Amino acid sequence: MVALKTLLFTTLVPGTVTVLVPYLLLSWDIQVFSFELGAIRFLGLPPILLGAVTYLWCAWDFTFTGRGTPAPIDPPKELVVKGLYRYVRNPMYVGITLILLGEALLFEAAVLFLYAGLLLVCAHLFIVYYEEPTLRRLFGASYESYCKSVSRWTPRLP
């Protein structure tokens, strides 16, 4: 059941953020926010793939290690500190950002760079003012210890 809820959340939220909203932004065909890269635009494919794998790996860990979902209304019951969470505290957001930056390159659309930046600012505020206080309350000292050893945004070796 948890896996089904994770799949539903992934389709609705990250799917909307990385597929529907970029599609809508691109369908407006705003020429001011476009640029030409030629074949170099295909360098956007690796970040898209890396971002998708990152998100899916983290969703898997939330579901099967944490026994919860990425949705704030049904979070993991256990603190997830394995997999990509050993290197950075917010790999899902990093993955989503990589997807959007890759799409911006692939579709030669500066509006998607702006969107990715806005989304990253919103994610940072959500993390600082909601997620982290909630995790501190739920997991206490173990979360505090985790925060001291793993960076919020900059991946590093454990």
Confidence of residue 72 (pLDDT cuts 50, 70, 90): confident
Q: Which two tokens stand for residue 92?
A: 């899902």
Orientation angle between helical segments 110-126 and 91-106, nearest 10 degrees? 170
Q: What is the pLDDT of residue 30?
A: 67
The overall pTM is greater than 0.85: yes
The domain spans of the chain are 2-149
Q: What is the pLDDT of residue 34?
A: 66
In the CATH scheme, what is the code of domain 2-149?
1.20.120.1630
The C-alpha atoms of residue 152 and residue 57 are separated, in whole angstroms, by 18
Residues 100-156 pLDDT 10s: 999 999 999 999 999 999 999 999 999 999 999 999 999 999 999 999 999 999 988
Q: Which two tokens stand for residue 41?
A: 């635009």
Instruction: For the chain, give the percent of residues with pLDDT over 90.
Output: 77
Q: What is the pLDDT of residue 84?
A: 96
